[in-house]
Structure 1
């Protein structure tokens, strides 16, 4: 079963990602992809173009039905993951690793020196 609202929402989410993180210019997904397609891999460009074709057909053709709705949703999810900047994940991972390391070092220090600590 196809949900037109989901298709539109996922397309808009991709458009927002392109505008925010890739500074894409344009009014629809086609223009946005073409304005910044040199910034991401070719397979992402082809996936975005495929999503755009389905979105355009859905909006313009009466009675258009997506052959494999789940495949379309999976394709959108893949593109969202590809377009999401990785630097924020790297920064958060480093912060968690650093805080965990400091905490473990402090625990080790107190465990080793606990009998010598006087308050």
Structure 2
């Protein structure tokens, strides 16, 4: 069972993602979705609308809704899809370059170690 605090917290996290990364305007989740729907993929838009609908059901019925597991799963999926991916790409490139230079240095020193005089 999901409590009302968790529903509000999850909805606010999605609202923050929409405001900061998709420049959405509005006061609640439905207005935010409507203001940036042209910038969202269709599958994300459908699931966000379902999250907004379930959020409204939770807040109007004191948290007694049968689809609490579905709400959590949808929120997890939406947060993952809305989060920017560029940082993962940048970190992946940085780690790959670091490992490449380290392996090149190890190879260089193993091949040329007998020529080095201290």
* TM-score (norm. length: structure 2): 0.93
Give the Cα–Cα distance (whole angstroms) in 2 for the partners of residues 94 and 66 of structure 1: 45
Are 2:15 and 2:32, in contact at CA under 8 Å, matched by a contact in 1? Answer: yes
Q: Which residue of 2 aligns with 1:4?
A: 4
Are 2:4 and 2:59, in contact at CA under 8 Å, matched by a contact in 1? Answer: no
Q: Which residue of 2 aligns with 1:51?
A: 51
Q: Which residue of 2 aligns with 1:118?
A: 117
Structure 1: stretches of 5+ with no match in the other structure: none
| Pair 1:42-2:42 in alignment | yes
Give the Cα–Cα distance (whole angstroms) in 1 for the partners of residues 35 and 85 of structure 2: 21
Structure 2: stretches of 5+ with no match in the other structure: none
| Pair 1:80-2:79 in alignment | yes
Runs of 4+ more than 3 Å apart: none
* TM-score (norm. length: structure 1): 0.92
- State the superposition RMSD in angstroms: 1.2
- In the alignment of these two chains, the number of paired residues is 118
Are 2:24 and 2:35, in contact at CA under 8 Å, matched by a contact in 1? Answer: yes
Q: Which residue of 1 aligns with 2:94?
A: 95
Cα distance per residue 1:34-63 (max 9 Å; x no partner): 11111121111111111111111222234x
Give the Cα–Cα distance (whole angstroms) in 2 for the partners of residues 18 and 40 of structure 1: 10
